[in-house]
């Protein structure tokens, strides 16, 4: 099952102002909506801190949100 959506990703790039010189410059998006991410988080009880830190370093906004 693919969770991302290219149209949502494009909208997110504009919403989070990822253009050159804007506050979200360079941020990348997979196009996964927040309710979908929350549902996936609920499936996982615990992950080791080290893995969480790896997720927090992701260039993708949704992966960092998942962490």
pLDDT one-digit tens code per residue, 8-32:
999 999 999 998 999 988 899 999 9
Per residue, the 3-state secondary structure of the chain, as one string, reads CCCCCHHHHHHHHHHCCCCCCCCCCCCECCCCCHHHHHHHHHCCCCCCHHHHHHHHCCCEHHHHHHC
Say what the pLDDT of residue 5 is.
87
Residue 25 inside a domain? The answer is yes
Q: What is the pLDDT of residue 52?
A: 92
**Structural domain that includes position 27:** 6-66
Report the predicted TM-score, pTM, of the whole model to 2 decimal places.
Answer: 0.83
pLDDT of residue 36: 94
Inter-residue contact 12 to 29 (CB < 8 Å): yes
Total domain count for the chain?
A: 1
Query: Looking at the domain assignment, is residue 37 inside a domain?
Result: yes
Q: Has residue 30 been placed in a domain?
A: yes
Domain assignment present for 10: yes
Look at residue 1 and tell me if it is in a domain: no
């Amino acid at each position: 099952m693919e969770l991302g959506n290219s149209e949502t990703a494009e909208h997110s790039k504009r919403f989070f102002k990822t253009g050159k010189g804007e506050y979200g410059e360079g941020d990348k998006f997979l196009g996964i909506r927040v309710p979908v991410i929350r549902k996936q988080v609920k499936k996982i009880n615990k992950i080791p801190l080290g893995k969480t830190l790896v997720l927090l370093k992701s260039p993708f906004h949704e992966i960092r949100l998942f962490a």
